[in-house]
Amino acid sequence: MSDLTILTKYLPLLIPIALLQFGLLVAALVDLMKRENTKGLPKWGWILVIVFVNLFGPIIYFIFGRDE
């Protein structure tokens, strides 16, 4: 099987995963933008973490970065 056929075969299964991850990323960024202060890292630092740390970036932000 070539890589492409694998991809097309599993695509219906990959889409929900990608959507969930993307949704989480967007939710984290929106939350970050609305916030004046963050904990642990400055705002731009959290943007980097959210965008570049796959899956766990947004989660780590939600747990540790939100400063109310």
Partner 1 sequence: MSFTTAFHKELLEQRRTRRFMIAIVVLVLFGMTSPLLAKMTPQIITMIPGGEAFSMLIPTPTINDAVAQYIKNITQFGVLLALVFGMGAVAVEKDKGTAAMTLSKPMTRWSFLLAKFAAMSVTFIIAVLVAAIACYYYTFFLFGELAIGAWLVLNGLVTLYLLLYAAITLFYSTLTRTQYVAIGLSFGTLILLGILGSLPGIGANFPDALISNASLIMMGETPKNWSGLWVSLGLIFLSLAGAWLVFRKQEL
Partner 2 sequence: MNAIKIEGLVKTYGSVRALDGLNLEVRSGSVFGFLGPNGAGKTTTLRILAGLALPNAGNASVSGIALSNTTPAPYARTGYLPEEPAFYPWMTPREYLDYVGRIFKIGSKERSARVDELLDVVGLKEVSKRHIGGFSRGMRQRLGIAQALVNHPEVLLLDEPVSALDPAGRKEVLELIEELGKECTVLMSSHILADVERVCDTVGIINKGKLITQAIKAELMEKYAIPALELVAGNGMAQQISEWKERIERMTSVSGVSIEGYTFRIAVKDVHSAQRELMQDAIRQNAHFERLEIVKPSLEDIFMQLVNGVEEKK
Q: How far is the CB of 66 from partner 1 (least distance, A)?
A: 8
| Interaction pattern, residues 17-36, with partner 2; x per rule: CB under 8 A | -------------------x
Binding flag, residue 68, partner 2 (CB under 8 A) = yes
Q: How far is the CB of 53 from partner 1 (least distance, A)?
A: 14
Q: Which is nearer to partner 1, 41 or 62 (CB)?
A: 62
Alpha-carbon distance 13 to 59, whole Å? 22
